[in-house]
């Protein structure tokens, strides 16, 4: 690491090797770093080869520098603007639908779900009604 590489800087590099866990990027003739698979792009990366190949020129942001170990952590993702999050799909899971129903059930006038304590007296009263007792 003859040339000083500073954390936070964005530099140009060239992909020199690809492994299942990340891509090695040469920053100059004597310095290279690793772009971990999680730092390739926004979103899930199953196979790095779908995104990069040896020889690609890339812009990387320096995330960490460990001079003692001679390791530099890089990110391609940090040089790109994050995509906007899509709206929730209409075909939500049943659990998400229940959560949405619970939120919409309670409204400003106090109607909605009651606690067991609130309902207990009502149940006791119902159990004592003669017209509801089956004979």
Question: What per-residue confidence (pLDDT) applies to 2?
Answer: 45
Are 40 and 51 in contact by the 8 Å Cβ rule? The answer is yes
pLDDT of 38-95, one tens digit each?
A: 999 988 999 999 999 999 999 999 999 998 888 999 999 999 888 887 665 556 666 6
Query: What is the structure's pLDDT at 72?
Result: 93
Are 90 and 84 contacting, i.e. CB atoms less than 8 angstroms apart?
A: no
Q: Which residue has the tokens 């799909």?
A: 89
pLDDT at 27 over 60: yes
**pLDDT of the residue at 135:** 62
Q: Predicted confidence band at 108 (pLDDT cuts at 50, 70, 90)? A: very low
Mean pLDDT of the chain: 81
Taking residue 79's Cβ as centre, other Cβ atoms within 10 Å add up to 14
Sketch out the chain's domains with CATH numbers.
10-79 (2.40.50.140)
**What residues have CB less than 8 Å from 9, skipping those under 6 apart?**
61, 62
As a whole number, mean pLDDT of residues 10-20 equals 94
Phi and psi dihedrals of 120, rounded to 5?
-55, -50
40 by Cβ neighbours in 10 Å (0-12 / 13-18 / 19+) ranks as buried
Q: What is the pTM of this model?
A: 0.59
pLDDT-derived band at 17 (thresholds 50, 70, 90) equals very high
């Amino acid at each position: 690491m003859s040339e000083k590489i500073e954390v936070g800087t964005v530099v140009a590099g060239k992909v020199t090797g690809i492994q299942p866990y990340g891509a090695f990027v040469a920053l100059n003739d004597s310095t290279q770093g690793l772009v971990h698979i999680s730092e390739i792009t926004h979103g899930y990366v199953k196979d790095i080869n779908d995104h990069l190949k040896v020889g690609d020129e890339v812009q990387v942001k320096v995330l960490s520098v460990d001079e003692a170990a001679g390791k530099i952590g890089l990110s391609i993702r940090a040089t790109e603007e994050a995509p906007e999050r899509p709206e929730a799909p209409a075909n939500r899971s049943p659990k998400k639908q229940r959560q949405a129903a619970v939120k919409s059930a309670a409204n400003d006038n106090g109607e909605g779900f009651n606690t067991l304590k609130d309902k207990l007296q009502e149940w006791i009263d119902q159990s004592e009604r003669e017209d509801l007792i089956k004979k």
